[in-house]
Amino acid sequence: MKAIVPRAGENLMGLARRCNAVYICPKDGSLRKGPLVAYAGKDDRRRNLVGDLYLNFRRIEVHPNVVEAFAEEACSKLYEKELIDTFDTVCGIPQGGRTFGQMLALIAGKRFAYADKKPKPTEAGKKQEYSWDLSQFDFEPGERVAVAEDVFNNFSNTDDTLAEIAVTGAEIVLLVGALNRSSTHDTTYKGLPVIASVREAYPEYEQDHPDVIVDVMAGNVEFEVKKNWARLCALMQQ
């Protein structure tokens, strides 16, 4: 399998598609011909939110030149917004945010750290949840940290990340990602600037929303997206 190299002027989401990293639920009119996908965010009944699009950054990670293209775009936006000198360290959130964040730190000339991913007990039929362990890295009090993630959905994981990094004494000053697909948070979150290589809003739904309830009731939701990626891609190609 050959490494994918970006073409001059290539759209980043088009590049992601060349990496086989994008799932968009196939439809016949309003009828879904494939499953919805579960997101990390939850409703007030602790049910995963669902939607029709998934960016699988793991499929991008194996192509360093593509990761570099995403990081370069984010870095360009940091310069454009005059944010490049506002942070000292990039902290990557696994798994995709670790790969993306390290490339971003290299390009921006910053220190790099990352969290280890620790699975939490999770109910069967629910998307796996994780906590973040930062114990392998030292942070100085007041050290300015940019948190790097691969995809911002509804920022629920971000809340956990902010809380755990704050315990170290570091100061979180910026959120940066490869894709921000949130329908509610554009350029800021809780007063923090949000920068993304790609900003495209996509809807996500509570499971009893009229647009998805028929599929949810029929069990047409994939909770283990990466594990079953080949099946999802095959459904798109039919």
CATH number of residue 160's parent domain: 3.40.50.2020
Mean pLDDT of the chain: 90
More confident residue, 78 or 30: 78
Residue 116, pLDDT above cutoff 90: no
More confident residue, 101 or 237: 101
Residue 130, pLDDT above cutoff 70: no
Q: Which domain holds residue 24?
A: 12-237
Position 6 in a domain: no
Residues 229, 21: contact at Cβ < 8 Å?
A: no
Position 201 in a domain: yes
CA distance 74 to 11: 14
Residue 124 has a pLDDT of 65
Position 145 in a domain: yes
**Of 194, 197, 193, the residue nearest 179 (C-alpha):** 197
Tell me the pTM.
0.89
Type of residue numbered 162 = L
Phi-psi region of 42 (alpha: psi -120 to 50; beta: other; left: phi over 0): beta
Percent above pLDDT 90 for the chain: 68
CA distances from 61 to 27, 67, 73, 227 (A): 28, 6, 16, 16
Give the mean model confidence (pLDDT) for residues 78-92.
96
| Total of domains in the chain | 1
